[in-house]
Amino acid sequence: MHEYIVAWLGGMLLGIATVGYLYVHGRIAGISGMLTQVLNKKTFVRSPAKWFLLGMILSAALYGFWQQPNIDFVVQEPWLFILAGILVGFGTSMGSGCTSGHGICGISRLSKRSFVATACFMAAAMLTVWLTRHVWGIL
C-alpha cells in the first residue's frame, strides 16, 4: 500500500509542478524544451528552466540518499546508455517534444498532436517490452 501512496504523491507533485510552471512562467514543462533553453547561450541566463531541471536532479538525489533504493540496471555497458540518449534526443526532435511534454503537458491542454504522439510512444513501448520479454527472452 505504501508504494501506491508514494506513486500518488509523486503524480500530484508532478501535476502541481507542471501547472505551476505553466501559470508562473507561461511555458510548458517539457523536459526536452527546457534542456534546449538551458543549453542555449542566449536563453540560459533568463530561463527559469535551469532551476526546474536542477530541482528535478536534486530531488532525485535526495530521494536516493534518503530511501537508498536498490536499483539493478539491466544494461551494464555505458556505450548503450549513450546511444540510447542520442536516440531519445533525435526522437524528441522529430516528435516536436518529449514524452513528458506530450504526455503530461500536451494532453492536459487537449492537444491533438500530443494525443497522437502519446499513443505512438506508448504503443512503441508496449511493443518493445513484448518483443524483449516474449520473443527475444531478454528480460
Q: Hey, where are the domains in the chain?
A: 1-71, 73-139
74-100 pLDDT, tens digit each: 666 778 888 888 888 888 878 788 887
List all residues 6 or more positions away from 12 whose beta carbon is below 8 Å from its beta carbon: none
* Run of H or E residues at 34: helix 31-39
Q: What is the pLDDT of residue 92?
A: 82
Rounded-to-integer distance, Cα 110 and Cα 117, Å: 12
For the full predicted model, state whether its pTM sits above 0.75.
no
Q: What is the pLDDT of residue 75?
A: 66
- 87 is written with which cell numbers? 536516440
- Average pLDDT score over residue span 34-58: 88
- 80 is written with which cell numbers? 548503450
How much of the chain, in percent, has pLDDT values that exceed 70?
Answer: 94
For the chain, the average pLDDT equals 85
Rounded-to-integer distance, Cα 55 and Cα 33, Å: 16
Q: How confident is the model at residue 116 (pLDDT cuts 50, 70, 90)?
A: very high
Phi, psi (rounded to 5 degrees) for 46: -95, 0
